[in-house]
Amino acid sequence: MIRLLRALQARLKAAGLPEGEAWDLLALATGLSRKDLLLSLPKPAPPGAEERAWALLEKRLARYPLQYLLGEVEFFGLPLRVEEGVLIPRPETEGLVALGLALPLPPRPRVLDVGTGTGAIALALKSRLPEAEVYATDVDEKALRLAEENAKRLGLKVRFLKAPLTGGLRGLDLVVANPPYLPEAYREAAPPELAYENPLALYAGEEGLAVAQPLALEAEGALRPGGFLLLELAPENVHRLAETLRERGWEAEVLRDLAGRDRYLRARRPPEEAEG
Ligand SMILES: C[S@@+](CC[C@H](N)C(=O)[O-])C[C@H]1O[C@@H](n2cnc3c(N)ncnc32)[C@H](O)[C@@H]1O
């Protein structure tokens, strides 16, 4: 199989794709784990594996995302199923989960993940905060079905609701979301892999705020006073939304992702004013 691996690597490299993906394609084609593949490399490919490997390569060269071919990604240490049309969880969103876990939440917090997709954020938070009551909304039927399947496979209890934004929930301690946030104009320059994800999960109007802005305003009624709103946004629009919330009396900060880009909005609904 060494010859086959080298040939796959060469084709990927020539197409400007990472050579390392050849290991994933060959593991998938042979049904072997990467470790077993390494041990089996000196042997001939199992029957049918070579044809499967070339067919997978052709799909990948057509920029079909590797994660959809594999059917699974790791997110915050959890294996999550992914399917074409439902957003592949991104590493930046693990940063959003880490920010959520660092908040001074009550012992049994009520948490909502808006636009849950595969369930990534809700499931990661529930896995680390077992006492939390975790809800998740999405407007996309396919995403919700996949999120429910992921929750079941992981044995994590999250209440999924087919509803826009906060789904009418109240008294929450944390509203977290990685909403669609790309400006429409980005479509033209987007990497071809994005065409296989759901545009509803990616694009949000001219400025990229068509979901995040109404969500932030709705969060004011969904959060208890002093509750937190945590959003992942594009560097171009995160400051604008932070400013909108400050004007409404919120504390709001912009934080950077690991690549140093302004990425997260951490905001706190003003506590109730003392009476008298
Ligand atoms: C960027 S994806 C995030 C998916 C997942 N949270 C993640 O980080 O991997 C945005 C998700 O929001 C959903 N969505 C779009 N508009 C929405 C709305 N108005 N209310 C709730 N969900 C929405 C999309 O269907 C999609 O699943």
Phi-psi region of 257 (alpha: psi -120 to 50; beta: other; left: phi over 0): beta
Task: Quote the Cα angle for 10-16-17, to 5°.
Answer: 75
Q: Which atom of ligand 1 is nearest to the CA of 93?
A: 8
Nearest CA to ligand 1 atom 9: 89
Contact between residue 230 and residue 96 where contact means Cβ atoms under 8 Å apart = yes
Task: Provide the pLDDT for residue 272.
Answer: 76
Range 107-145 burial, b when 16+ CB lie within 10 A, else e: eebbbbbbbbbbbbbbbbbbbebeebbbbbbbbbeebbe
Which sign does the torsion angle of CA 124, 127, 131, 137 carry? positive
Residues with Cβ within 8 Å of residue 168, at least 6 apart in sequence: none
CA nearest 116: which of 95, 99, 91, 93? 93
Cα–Cα distance for residue pair 193/5, rounded to 1 Å: 23
Pocket test for ligand 1, best of 86, 125, 138, 146 (most atoms within 8 A of CB): 138
Task: Quote the Cα angle for 218-119-175, to 5°.
Answer: 25
Cα–Cα distance for residue pair 169/95, rounded to 1 Å: 25
Pocket test for ligand 1, best of 200, 203, 237 (most atoms within 8 A of CB): 200
Pocket test for ligand 1, best of 67, 114, 121, 150 (most atoms within 8 A of CB): 114
Task: Provide the pLDDT for residue 271.
Answer: 87
Which sign does the torsion angle of CA 87, 91, 92, 96 carry? positive
Mind listing the pLDDT tens digit of every residue in the chain (276 residues)?
A: 999 999 999 999 999 999 999 999 999 999 999 899 999 999 999 999 999 999 999 999 999 999 999 999 999 999 999 999 999 999 999 999 999 999 999 999 999 999 999 999 999 999 999 999 999 999 999 999 999 999 999 999 999 999 999 999 999 999 999 999 999 999 989 999 999 999 999 999 999 999 999 999 999 999 999 999 999 999 989 999 999 999 999 999 999 999 999 999 999 999 876 444
Cα–Cα distance for residue pair 256/262, rounded to 1 Å: 4
Task: Quote the Cα angle for 238-119-79, to 5°.
Answer: 115
| Whole-model pTM over 0.85 | yes
Pocket test for ligand 1, best of 75, 140, 218 (most atoms within 8 A of CB): 140
Long-range contacts of 55-62 (CB under 8 A, 24+ apart): 56/25, 56/28, 56/29, 57/8, 57/11, 57/12, 57/25, 60/12, 60/17, 60/21, 60/25, 61/11, 61/12, 61/15, 61/17
In the CATH scheme, what architecture does the domain 83-268 have?
3-Layer(aba) Sandwich (3.40)
CA nearest 144: which of 156, 158, 161, 127? 161
Nearest CA to ligand 1 atom 2: 201
The set of protein residues with a Cβ atom below 6 angstroms from ligand 1 is: 87, 89, 93, 114-118, 120-121, 137-140, 143, 164-165, 178-180, 200-201, 211
CA of 164 to the centre of ligand 1 (A): 9
Q: Which atom of ligand 1 is nearest to the CA of 96?
A: 8
The total of other beta-carbon atoms located within 10 Å of residue 46's CB is 14
Q: Which atom of ligand 1 is nearest to the CA of 211?
A: 19
Cα–Cα distance for residue pair 106/124, rounded to 1 Å: 18
Cα–Cα distance for residue pair 187/195, rounded to 1 Å: 9
Q: Where are the domains of the chain?
A: 2-62, 83-268
Mapped onto helix, strand or coil, the DSSP state of residue 228 is strand
Inter-axis angle of helices 120-128 and 91-101, nearest 10: 40
